[in-house]
């Protein structure tokens, strides 16, 4: 538990800097916009209203909230990763892997289960979300878990780095 608190403290210290907070905001907004567009890509008229009619209000809310969380977590990851690169520290092996897999999983889960997910259609399975019990929400949860792990490992590696001192 102490390591988690230390990781959160380091994350907060990095995000308290204006330039890294800007990276976080820009990445998060851009990520959510891209996920939102991917979700409505195959829906008639790219309409959120049609998406709600086909998928239901609860699914739509859970889907958009989870995509927002994924975008925020990726923004945090990218900010910390930029800090680590700028301070010339070797990136931890687990953090980049989990971050990339988390982002890819989130991208795959972005889509309309009944109309088809655009990224799954690139690999020949546009209705792949339909066969999942929760219509892709489980992929979004997996993406959130992977991004949380990625952020934790990255912050932990920053904390354990002998040369890393976050200057205020």
Would residue 141 count as lying in a domain? Answer: yes
State percent of the chain over pLDDT 90. Answer: 23
Q: How many domains does the chain have?
A: 1
Q: Please tell me the predicted confidence (pLDDT) of residue 114.
A: 52
DSSP symbols for 88-127: T-PPPHHHHHHHHHHHHHHHHH-SBTTTB-HHHHHTT-TT
CA–CA gap between residue 27 and residue 147 (Å, rounded): 14
Q: Please tell me the predicted confidence (pLDDT) of residue 160.
A: 77
* CA dihedral for 113, 116, 120, 123, sign (positive or negative): positive
Would residue 40 count as lying in a domain? Answer: yes
Q: Please tell me the predicted confidence (pLDDT) of residue 95.
A: 58
Q: Mean pLDDT throughout 60-68? A: 90
73 pLDDT more than 60: yes
Would residue 165 count as lying in a domain? Answer: no
Q: Measure Cα distances from 61 to 29, 58, 71, 126, 144 in Å.
A: 18, 5, 15, 22, 16
Residue range(s) defining the domain that contains residue 57: 2-160
42 pLDDT more than 60: yes
Output the six-digit token pair for 94.
Answer: 């687990």
CA–CA gap between residue 97 and residue 87 (Å, rounded): 20
Top pLDDT among 119 and 158 is at: 158
87 pLDDT more than 70: yes
- In this structure, are residues 76 and 151 in contact, taking their beta carbons and an 8 Å threshold? yes
Would residue 121 count as lying in a domain? Answer: yes
Would residue 166 count as lying in a domain? Answer: no
Output the six-digit token pair for 15.
Answer: 């995000």
What tens digit of pLDDT does each residue of 109-125 get? 665 555 555 555 555 65
100 pLDDT more than 80: no
Would residue 109 count as lying in a domain? Answer: yes
Would residue 167 count as lying in a domain? Answer: no
Top pLDDT among 23 and 1 is at: 23
Would residue 116 count as lying in a domain? Answer: yes
């Amino acid at each position: 538990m102490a390591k988690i608190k230390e990781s959160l403290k380091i994350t907060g210290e990095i995000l308290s800097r204006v330039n890294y907070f800007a990276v976080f905001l820009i990445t998060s907004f851009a990520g959510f916009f891209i996920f939102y567009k991917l979700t409505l890509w195959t829906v008639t008229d790219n309409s959120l209203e049609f998406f709600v009619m086909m998928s239901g209000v609860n699914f739509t809310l859970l889907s958009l909230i989870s995509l927002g969380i994924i975008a925020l977590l990726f923004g945090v990851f990218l900010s910390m990763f930029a800090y680590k690169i700028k301070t010339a520290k070797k990136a931890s092996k687990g953090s980049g892997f989990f971050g990339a897999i988390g982002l890819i999983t989130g991208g795959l889960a972005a889509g309309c289960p009944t109309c088809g997910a655009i990224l799954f259609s690139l690999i020949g399975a546009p209705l792949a979300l339909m066969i999942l019990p929760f219509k892709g929400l489980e992929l979004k949860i997996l993406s959130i878990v992977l991004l949380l792990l990625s952020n934790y490992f990255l912050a932990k590696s920053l904390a354990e780095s002998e040369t890393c001192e976050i200057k205020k």
